[in-house]
A and B are shown apart, each in its own frame.
Chain A
Amino acid sequence: MSDEKRQVSRRQFLNYTLTGVGGFMAAGLLISPVRMAIDPVLKHDEGGDFANAGIAIDDITADPQRIDWTIDQVDGWYESEVTRSAWVYRNDDDEIVAFSPICKHLGCVVSWEGNDDYPDQYYCPCHDGRYYKNGVNVPGTPPLQPLDVYEQEERDGMLFLGKIQPHEEA
Chain B
Amino acid sequence: MKWTSVDLQKYDQAKEYIDTVIVPLAPFQIGILEASAKNADQYDILTLFSRELEKELMGRIMLAPTYTYIAAAEKSEEVKRLNGWTNHFKKQPFKQVLYISFDPSWRKIASDLEGEFIWLPTASLKDADPAAVKGIIRDQTMQTVELIKSFW
- A interface, CB within 8 angstroms of B: 26, 29-31, 33-34, 36-39, 41, 103, 105-109, 124-127, 142
A34/B58 in contact, CB under 8 A? no
A26 CA to B145 CA, complexed, in Å:
25
| Cβ B130 vs Cβ A125 within 8 A | no
Q: Which of B59, B131, B137 contacts A106 (CB 8 A)?
A: B59
Q: Do residues B133 and A127 form an inter-chain contact, with CB atoms below 8 A? A: no
CA distance A33 to B57 in the complex (A): 25
Q: Which of A30, A31, A36, A126 contacts B59 (CB 8 A)?
A: A126
Q: Which of A29, A41, A108, A127 contacts B131 (CB 8 A)?
A: A41
CB within 8 Å for A33 and B133 given contacts A106-B10, A106-B14, A125-B149: yes
Given known A-B contacts A41-B130, A106-B18, A126-B17, A33 and B125 have beta carbons under 8 A apart: yes
Contacting pair B133 A108 (CB below 8 A): no
Contacts of B128 in A (CB 8 A): 33
Choose from B17, B41, B55, B130 the contact partner of A127 (Cβ within 8 Å).
B17
Residue numbers of B with Cβ under 8 A of A are 10, 14, 17-18, 40-41, 44-45, 47-48, 55-60, 125-131, 133-134, 137, 145, 149
- Chain B binding site: helix, strand, loop or mixed by DSSP? helix
Across the A-B interface, give the 8 residue pairs with the lowest CB-CB distance, nearest first: A106-B59, A36-B130, A37-B133, A126-B60, A108-B59, A37-B130, A126-B59, A107-B58
5 A-B pairs with C-beta separation under 8 A:
A30-B48, A31-B41, A34-B133, A37-B137, A106-B18
B residues near A126, Cβ cutoff 8 Å: 17, 57, 59-60
Which residues in A have their C-beta under 8 angstroms from that of B45?
A: 31, 34
> Is B58 within 8 A of A33, CB to CB?
no
Residue from A36, A105, A109, A126 whose CB has the most chain B CB atoms within 10 Å: A126
Q: How far is the CB of A99 from the nearest CB of chain B, in Å?
A: 16
- Select which of B14, B60, B126, B149 is within 8 A of A33 by beta carbon: B126
**Interchain CB contact under 8 A, A108 and B134:** no
Task: Give chain B residues whose Cβ lies under 8 Å from the Cβ of A39.
Answer: 130
Q: Is the CB of A108 within 8 A of B57?
A: yes
**Among B18, B127, B134, B137, residue most surrounded by chain A Cβ atoms (within 10 Å):** B134
Chain B, Cβ-Cβ closest to A11 = B5
Highest count of chain B CB atoms <10 Å: which of A26, A36, A37: A37
Chain A residues near B131 (CB-CB < 8 A): 37, 41
Known contacts A37-B131, A106-B18: does B56 contact A31 (CB below 8 Å)?
no
> Does A31 contact B125, Cβ atoms closer than 8 Å?
yes
- Complex interface: chain A residues within 8 A of B60 (CB): 106, 108, 126-127
How far is B41's CA from A94's CA once the two chains are assembled, in angstroms? 48
Q: What residues on A are CB-neighbors of B130 within 8 Å? A: 33, 36-37, 39, 41
Q: Is the CB of A105 within 8 A of B134?
A: no
Give the chain B neighbours of A103 by CB distance below 8 A. 59
Complex Cα distance, B44 from A38, in Å, reads 13
- Asked whether, in the complex, the Cβ of B17 is within 8 Å of the Cβ of A106, the reply is yes
| Inter-subunit contact A108/B56 (CB<8 Å) | yes
